[in-house]
Amino acid sequence: MSAPIGPARELRVVLAQLTPHPADVVANLTRLETLVGQHAQAELMVFPELFLTGYNLDAVHQLALAPQGDVVVRVRTLARHWRTAIIVGFAEIHGDKVANSLACIDSDGCMTGIYRKTHLFGRERDHFTGGDRLPVVELAGIRVGPMICFDIEFPEPARTLALDGAQLLVSAAANMEPYEPDHHLASRARALDNRLPHIYVNRTGWESPFVFTGHSRIVAADGSVLLQLGADECVASSRVTIDAGTSEPTDYLNQLRPDLYGGELRTAPG
């Protein structure tokens, strides 16, 4: 049975494909504040993985931020002032450890969730503790499934978020050479797998020893690319259609056969 066709909603989004200032939280916060103010009509702004603190793995413990600290509180105040939901990456003080996290802040300034990267890539495993949850968070009245970079190379996180009722997938990345083709394919596949639109925002620039590739995009629920950015810094506004439903026979969530797959795989909501 295919999903029912519901009323479509156009969500106004901004993709902030930027190069963070290495190890300069104040400069990155200032830039975020400026850009949010310049895009006051946006309902949702998405910044890259570790945008506030940078991708210097050897410095994350010195740069890590507390969710209740001044920097994150300023982002929450900004979201409330401009009535704009914000997703931004940062190294998070998490108990006595550090997590690679996304702050998911709604337009009223409430922190509706913190997503901690569950699939750590390469040397990240030496510096971060992996998350143990895949939360769906509400932002701008939409149920959002957040992911970070390497997460999208696995089908399971996005599928779990979809089965938990996500209406939109959002991925913040710090994807570097030579892996841009992997993410071009994975970002489209995760949208098509789950018949959900997917916002993918990657950083740009160089931070030793990595060259980051940009190429952020918006992917429609049928896997087609609606907006594609290049390799340089770019801040792009667009609209994403949410909850249009589908009448296609390939509405995959409603044709799952968990009796064949084993494990704890569930069926579609409802």
Active site residues: 49, 117, 149
Per the CB < 8 A criterion, the answer to whether 57 and 174 are in contact is no
Positive or negative, the CA dihedral 229, 235, 238, 241 is positive
**C-alpha angle 112-212-14 in degrees, rounded to nearest 5:** 40
Tell me if residue 111 falls in helix, strand or coil: strand
Q: For residue 67, which phi and psi values (nearest 5 degrees)?
A: -60, -25
Cβ atoms < 10 Å from Cβ of 192: 17
| Interaxial angle between packed helices 25-38 and 70-82, expressed in degrees from 0 to 180 and rounded to the nearest 10 | 0
Which are the contacts of 101, defined by CB distance < 8 A and separation ≥ 6?
Answer: 89, 90, 91, 92, 94, 114, 115, 116, 117, 131
Provide CB contacts within 8 A for 111, sequence distance 6+: 67, 72, 76, 103, 104, 105
